[in-house]
């Protein structure tokens, strides 16, 4: 979104250094990913963004938003860069209200859930893009920084903005909704994830439901009918409700089958029409995600044929169900971005669906489960045993007896031994484990 420095200062209560009429286009807090002309926001977080002002300007920043004035170039000086980013994001959302194309106002789609929200966000963006100008959160930019940055990165003619919303506790989704003001809200699932912070799973449901509670009566809540806690959220909103699922719901994926590359083929059934779909993304669970994405896209006014075409060509953010053949001939399913019990079970099922002589899951810890950690790790082991999958556990003994416990990537490589075309591997763990390094090692060797 294009803003003058005068706009930025007026909205944030800041002071312009340099020409007030200078225009910046979008915003970032990462000097390494900066696009020329963007506003660089010097946040003070784990690292002080002021230490990267020189890098940002060298990369072509149009101006910088900072707390300590310098003489390096155009800037807006504010008391608190984080707070200023929040109000700028809300201002960008206000600007979107002025966009009307073919009589249709802009749709802002909020997506939350314990599992699948990034994949559903990616699929919605793919489904709307063929017929409506679309902006979407990068990767998993889903917190109090990522949401306003996504809004500021939306083009001036955006017709659909897809905003992923994460949470670390009760009230967080409500705070993000106050910035983004979604017109459509998608809730994917309520599961044991981050329960160390939330406590009971009902608190997770309470928090995820804040999205549908924020919708106005003319909005649409898109709810996963396959999750009873999500389905119950229909009673927490005044908005219209559109359900989705596998073989159930207003929008559904029927007759799902997987091809040799784990890609789901199914019949998409909706109130707008039906069609056969072959996804480019992998895993049976992504057929359900695609149904949710189609529901949100169609509610946002996307063309039905464009939705089908977009889903068929969609790709996901990195390290999510990436299937690659290693030089050894082994097939490696890299789902290492993150893990909780629900996503882990879905990934094990996907591994078992692969034709192979040996199925091995290389798993790291599932973090932030609190008191649920031990039983949930053991539940994963039980499912693996039932599926005939060997577990190699990296840097954790939480999966219990019957697993091969190793230390680090080197230990995992040694435990895997000689691999060949008869091997199928799953690599998955919570983000803190960084287990994608193993996938890169296997694919490079």
**pLDDT, tens digit, for every residue of 36-67?**
999 999 998 888 999 999 999 999 999 999 99
250-283 burial by CB neighbour count: b if 16+ within 10 A, else e?
bbbbeebebeeebbbebebbbebeebebebebbb
Looking at residue 23, its pLDDT comes to: 98
Mean pLDDT of 207-213: 97
Question: Are 71 and 119 within one domain?
Answer: no
Percent of the chain topping pLDDT 70: 98
What would the pLDDT profile of 377-400 be if each residue is shown by its tens digit? Answer: 999 999 999 999 999 999 999 999
What would the pLDDT profile of 224-247 be if each residue is shown by its tens digit? Answer: 999 999 999 999 999 999 999 999
Query: What is the end-to-end Cα distance of the chain in Å, rounded?
Result: 44
Question: Are 259 and 404 within one domain?
Answer: no
Burial class for 71, CB neighbours closer than 10 Å (0-12, 13-18, 19+): exposed
Q: Is residue 231 part of a domain?
A: yes
Q: Is residue 87 part of a domain?
A: no
Q: Residue 347 in contact with residue 426, Cβ under 8 Å?
A: yes
pLDDT at 208 over 60: yes
Band (193; pLDDT cuts 50, 70, 90):
low
Instruction: Say how far apart CA 140 and CA 50 lie, in whole Å.
Output: 24
Q: Is residue 57 part of a domain?
A: yes
Looking at residue 321, its pLDDT comes to: 86
pLDDT at 92 over 70: yes
Looking at residue 194, its pLDDT comes to: 54
Q: Is residue 119 part of a domain?
A: yes
Mean pLDDT of 105-133: 95
Q: Is residue 89 part of a domain?
A: no
Q: Is residue 43 part of a domain?
A: yes
Q: Is residue 216 part of a domain?
A: yes
Pairing of strands 220-224, 404-406: unpaired
Question: Are 22 and 69 within one domain?
Answer: yes
With H, G, I as helix, E, B as strand and everything else as coil, classify residue 164.
strand
**What is the extent of the structural domain holding 77?**
2-81
Question: Are 42 and 114 within one domain?
Answer: no
Mean pLDDT of 205-230: 97
Question: Are 268 and 293 within one domain?
Answer: yes
- Which CATH number goes with the domain that contains 274? 3.40.1190.10
pLDDT at 101 over 80: no
pLDDT at 410 over 90: yes
The number of folded domains in the chain is: 3
Question: Are 245 and 301 within one domain?
Answer: yes
Task: Name the average pLDDT for the chain.
Answer: 93
Q: Residue 44 in contact with residue 101, Cβ under 8 Å?
A: no
pLDDT at 199 over 80: no
CA angle 371, 405, 380 (to 5 degrees): 45
Question: Are 149 and 297 within one domain?
Answer: yes
pTM metric for this prediction: 0.87
Band (316; pLDDT cuts 50, 70, 90):
confident
Neighbour order of strands in the sheet with 107-112? 134-136, 160-164, 107-112, 184-187, 220-224, 240-246, 251-258, 264-270, 273-278
DSSP code of residue 46: S
CA angle 8, 143, 163 (to 5 degrees): 80
| Higher pLDDT pick, 116 / 213 | 213
pLDDT at 71 over 90: no
What would the pLDDT profile of 423-442 be if each residue is shown by its tens digit? Answer: 999 999 998 888 999 989 99
- Please spell the DSSP secondary structure of 377-398, one letter per residue: HHHHHHHHHHHT-EEEEES--T
Question: Are 274 and 400 within one domain?
Answer: no
What would the pLDDT profile of 348-386 be if each residue is shown by its tens digit? Answer: 999 999 999 999 999 999 988 888 899 999 999 999 999
Looking at residue 98, its pLDDT comes to: 75
Looking at residue 310, its pLDDT comes to: 97
Instruction: Say how far apart CA 191 and CA 209 lie, in whole Å.
Output: 13
Which ranges of 300-403 does DSSP label H, i.e. alpha helix? Answer: 304-313, 341-353, 373-387
Domain boundary among 313, 342, 368: 313
Domain boundary among 38, 53, 81: 81
Domain boundary among 53, 81, 109: 81
Question: Are 406 and 424 within one domain?
Answer: yes
Question: Are 230 and 271 within one domain?
Answer: yes
Say which residue the tokens 């250094």 belong to: 17
Question: Are 151 and 286 within one domain?
Answer: yes
Question: Are 238 and 307 within one domain?
Answer: yes
Helix (H) or strand (E) holding 367: none
CA angle 288, 108, 307 (to 5 degrees): 45
Looking at residue 121, its pLDDT comes to: 96
Q: Is residue 88 part of a domain?
A: no
- Which CATH number goes with the domain that contains 356? 3.90.190.20
């Amino acid at each position: 979104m294009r803003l003058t420095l005068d706009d930025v200062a007026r909205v944030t209560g800041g002071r312009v250094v340099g020409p007030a009429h200078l225009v910046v286009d979008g915003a970032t807090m990462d000097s390494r990913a900066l696009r020329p002309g963007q506003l660089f926001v010097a946040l003070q977080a784990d690292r002080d963004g002021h230490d990267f002002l020189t890098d940002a300007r060298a990369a072509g920043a149009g101006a910088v938003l900072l707390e300590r004035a310098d003489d390096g170039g155009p800037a807006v000086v504010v008391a608190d860069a984080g707070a200023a980013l929040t109000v700028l994001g809300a201002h960008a959302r206000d600007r979107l209200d002025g966009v009307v194309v073919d009589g249709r106002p802009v749709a802002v789609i909020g997506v939350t859930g314990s599992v699948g929200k990034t994949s559903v966000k990616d699929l919605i963006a793919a489904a709307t893009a063929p017929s409506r100008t679309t902006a979407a959160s990068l990767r998993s930019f889903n917190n109090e920084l990522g949401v306003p940055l996504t809004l500021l990165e939306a083009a001036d003619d955006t017709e659909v903005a897809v905003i992923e919303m994460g949470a670390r506790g009760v009230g967080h989704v409500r705070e993000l909704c106050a910035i983004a003001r979604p017109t459509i809200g998608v809730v994917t699932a309520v599961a044991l994830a981050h329960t160390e912070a939330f406590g009971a799973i009902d608190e997770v449901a309470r928090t995820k439901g804040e999205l549908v509670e924020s919708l106005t009566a003319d909005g649409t809540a898109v709810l996963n009918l396959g999750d009873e806690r999500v389905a119950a959220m229909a009673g927490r909103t005044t908005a219209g409700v559109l359900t989705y699922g596998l073989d159930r719901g207003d929008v559904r994926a029927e007759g799902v089958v997987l091809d040799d590359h784990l890609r789901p083929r199914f019949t998409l059934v909706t109130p707008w029409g039906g069609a056969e779909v072959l996804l480019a993304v992998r895993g049976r669970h992504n057929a359900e995600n695609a149904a949710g994405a189609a529901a949100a896209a169609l509610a946002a006014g996307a063309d039905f044929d464009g939705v089908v075409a977009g889903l068929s060509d969609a790709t996901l953010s990195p390290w999510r169900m990436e299937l690659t053949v290693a030089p050894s001939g082994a097939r490696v399913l890299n789902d290492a971005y993150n893990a909780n019990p629900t996503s882990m079970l879905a990934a094990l099922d996907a591994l078992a669906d692969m034709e192979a002589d040996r199925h091995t899951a290389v798993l790291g810890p599932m973090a932030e489960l609190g008191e649920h950690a031990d039983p949930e790790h053991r539940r994963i082991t039980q499912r693996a045993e039932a599926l005939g999958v060997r577990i190699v556990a990296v840097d954790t003994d939480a999966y219990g007896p019957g697993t091969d416990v190793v230390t680090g990537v080197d230990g995992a490589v040694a435990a895997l031994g000689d691999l060949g075309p008869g091997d199928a591997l799953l690599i998955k763990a919570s983000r803190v484990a960084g287990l994608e390094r193993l996938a890169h090692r296997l694919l490079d060797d």
